[in-house]
Amino acid sequence: MIPVSKPYLGEAEKQAVLEVLESGMLVQGPRVAKLEEKFAAASGVKHAIATSSGTTALHLALVANGIGPGDEVITVAFTFIATVNCILFVGAKPVFVDVDAETFNINPDLIEAAITPRTKAILLVHLYGYPCDMGRIQAIADKHGLKVIEDACQAVGATYQGRTVGSFGTGMFSLYATKNVMTGEGGMITTNDDALAEHCRLLRQHGMKRRYYHEMLGYNYRLSDLHAAIGVAQMDRLPDFTAKRRANAAVLNGGITSVITPKVKDGYGHVWHQYTVRMPAGRDRDAAVKQLTDAGVGTGVFYPVPAHQQGYVREQLGEVSLPVTERLSKEVISLPVHPQLTPAELETIVAAVNRL
């Protein structure tokens, strides 16, 4: 089976972890600092703050932006559930805006109608590694005085008009094992705001600047040096990983004719966390997934049940209608695009998809 994702663990990662073990210092320390430095440089931001997961990064980003009970946050339901859960963690209300069927991202045309006097932020998601239309979104946010928070968990290294995602508002990333760079479990917040960065660092460690003196209610959302050591090695590979994903996506786009393939607009630097096709209307996705599995091609469906249709979200927010999101959740199939694919495997994928 050609897996839909495959974490790369080379000699450098193994050596780096062994060095941490031999040092005897496993907790947040010099490797976390090194990873933050590399991540900030790669993202073109002043600060990167490592956390224990993408979810904890997003939770801290919302707390540090002052979002809480009574606030509304505009977001999408076509995402991994963590995006929405973090809004609920802080007691705010997610207000869902439908996505664009071509980009899979928030539809900027629909944002303004969702703004109310309670709206505090736009939490957008650069889904599958495709950057959102940051020009339009930034203009809307500026006009209405809203904060921009970017769920860039799937989009490390992606660019909009040459500028890296995570540098527009408060950025957050996941370093989970299947993401484009990874530490096993881990996360990162990016910002150019000195005060916000300091606030996130305090929140990460029980509000503690001086040992056992606590300046605020905080959490334990630290990353360990064992995990960070893997990430430091991975950051050196990021340009190569991204180039390979782009080359693989180009082969798939060039060969696949039986389903709707993803298009990338000018000015958007896609990093292909997922290569996601759509089944044309009326075609059975489950049957297609089964046929691909039988042909040895791994697939993923991200995501079969949109956030607004998850039981507990529906109980809290009531019925919401998002026609494009609902349609896409029944049409999408992600195919392998990861950097370790061989030319023969790419051929197998193209042939299997074209036999659908």
125 binds ligand PLP, rule: CB under 6 A: yes
150 binds ligand PLP, rule: CB under 6 A: no
User: Shortest approach of ligand PLP to residue 351 CB, angstroms?
Assistant: 29
Between 222 and 251, how does the x/- string for binding to ligand PLP read (CB under 6 A)? ------------------------------
356 binds ligand PLP, rule: CB under 6 A: no
Between 32 and 71, how does the x/- string for binding to ligand PLP read (CB under 6 A)? ---------------------xxx----------------
User: Shortest approach of ligand PLP to residue 83 CB, angstroms?
Assistant: 5
Between 187 and 206, how does the x/- string for binding to ligand PLP read (CB under 6 A)? x-------------------
Helix (H, G, I), strand (E, B) or coil at 292: helix
Total residues binding ligand PLP (CB under 6 A): 14
Instruction: Report CA dihedral (290, 296, 302, 305) to the nearest 10 degrees.
Output: 20
User: Shortest approach of ligand PLP to residue 311 CB, angstroms?
Assistant: 20
Question: Which member of 28, 43, 75, 154 binds ligand PLP (CB under 6 A)?
Answer: 154
**Cis bond upstream, residue 160 (ω within 30):** no
Residues with catalytic roles: 179
Question: Which member of 160, 176, 272, 275 binds ligand PLP (CB under 6 A)?
Answer: 176
HEC readout, the chain: CECCCCCCCCHHHHHHHHHHHHHCCCCCCHHHHHHHHHHHHHHCCCEEEEECCHHHHHHHHHHHCCCCCCCEEEECCCCCCHHHHHHHHCCCEEEECCECCCCCCECHHHCHHHCCCCEEEEEEECHHHCCCCHHHHHHHHHHHCCEEEEECCCCCCCEECCEECCCCCEEEEECECCCCCCCECCEEEEECCHHHHHHHHHHHECCEEECCEECCCCCECCCCHHHHHHHHHHHHHHHHHHHHHHHHHHHHHHHCCCCECCCCCCCEECCCCCEEEECCCCCCHHHHHHHHHHCCECCECCCCCCHHHCHHHHHHHCCCCCHHHHHHHHHEEEECCCCCCCHHHHHHHHHHHHCC
153 binds ligand PLP, rule: CB under 6 A: yes
Determine the Cα–Cα distance for residues 245 and 348; give it in Å rounded to an integer. Answer: 17
Question: Which member of 5, 83, 261, 329 binds ligand PLP (CB under 6 A)?
Answer: 83
149 binds ligand PLP, rule: CB under 6 A: no
Question: Which member of 39, 78, 80, 221 binds ligand PLP (CB under 6 A)?
Answer: 80
Taking the least distance from each CB to ligand PLP, the nearer of 20 and 84 is: 84
Question: Which member of 36, 151, 225, 331 binds ligand PLP (CB under 6 A)?
Answer: 151
Question: Which member of 28, 75, 79, 107 binds ligand PLP (CB under 6 A)?
Answer: 79
User: Shortest approach of ligand PLP to residue 297 CB, angstroms?
Assistant: 22
Question: Which member of 170, 174, 261, 329 binds ligand PLP (CB under 6 A)?
Answer: 174
Written as six digits, the tokens of 178 are 């299947």
User: Shortest approach of ligand PLP to residue 165 CB, angstroms?
Assistant: 12
Binding residues among 258-317 for ligand PLP as defined by CB under 6 A: none
Overall residue count recorded for the chain in this entry: 356
Write out the residues near ligand PLP by the rule CB under 6 A: 53-55, 79-80, 82-83, 125, 151, 153-154, 174, 176, 187
